[in-house]
Amino acid sequence: MSEKNYRFIDACWRKPVDYTPIWIMRQAGRYMKEYQDIRNKVSFLELCKTPELAAEVTILPIDKLGVDAAILFSDILIPVEAMGMNLEFGDGGPHLGSPVKNKSDVDRLIVPSPQEKVPFVMETIKLLRKELDGRVPLIGFSGAPFTLASYMVEGGGTSSFVKIKTMMFKDPETIHALLNKVAKTVICYLNAQIEAGAQAVQIFDSWAGTLSPRDYQEFALSYTKQVIDGLNRENIPVIYFVQGNPGVLELVKQAGSDVIGVDWRINLDVAWNRVGYDVAVQGNLEPCALFLPKDKLEERAKEILNQAGGRPGHIFNLGHGILPQATVENAKFLVEAVHKFRIQNTEDRTQTRE
> What pLDDT does 343 receive?
66
Residue 61: is its pLDDT beyond 90? yes
Strand 314-315 to strand 86-90: parallel, antiparallel, or no bridges (unpaired)? unpaired
Query: Which percentage of the chain shows pLDDT scores above 70?
Result: 95
Average pLDDT of the chain is 94
> What is the predicted pLDDT for the residue at 2?
37
Res. 1: pLDDT tops 80: no
Domains and CATH numbers, the chain: 7-348 (3.20.20.210)
The 3-class secondary structure across the chain, one letter per residue, is CCCCCCHHHHHHCCCCCCECCECCCCCCCCCCHHHHHHHCCCCHHHHHCCHHHHHHHHHHHHHHHCCCCEECCCCCCHHHHHCCCEEEEECCEEEEECCCCCHHHHHHCCCCCHHHHCHHHHHHHHHHHHHHCCCCCEEEEEECHHHHHHHHHHCECCCCCHHHHHHHHHCHHHHHHHHHHHHHHHHHHHHHHHHHCCCEEEEEECCHHHCCHHHHHHHHHHHHHHHHHCCCCCCCCEEEEECCCHHHHHHHHCCCCCEEECCCCCCHHHHHHHHCCCCEEECCECHHHHHCCHHHHHHHHHHHHHHHCCCCCEEECECCCCCCCCCHHHHHHHHHHHHHCECCCHHHCCCCEC
Q: Give pLDDT tens digits for 38-49.
A: 999 999 999 999
In which band, very low, low, confident or very high, does the pLDDT at 344 lie, cut at 50, 70 and 90?
low
Report the predicted TM-score, pTM, of the whole model to 2 decimal places.
0.94
pLDDT tens column, 256-313: 999 999 999 999 999 999 999 999 999 999 999 999 999 999 999 999 999 999 999 9
Q: Model confidence over 198-234: pLDDT tens digits?
A: 999 999 999 998 999 999 999 999 999 999 999 999 9
Assign 35 a pLDDT band (cuts: 50, 70, 90).
very high
Measured CA to CA, the distance from residue 144 to residue 201 in angstroms comes to 12
Per-residue pLDDT at 348: 42
Mean pLDDT of 120-138: 97
Rounded Cα–Cα distance for residues 206 and 146 (Å): 9
Residues that are catalytic: 26, 30, 39, 75, 151
Min mean pLDDT across 68-82, 131-145, 235-249 is at: 235-249
Over residues 321-348, the mean pLDDT reads 85
Quick one: pLDDT at residue 93? 86
Using omega within 30 degrees of 0 as the cis cutoff, is the peptide bond preceding 284 cis? Answer: yes
d(CA 163, CA 101): 9
Hey, which residues does 139 pair with through a beta bridge?
71, 200
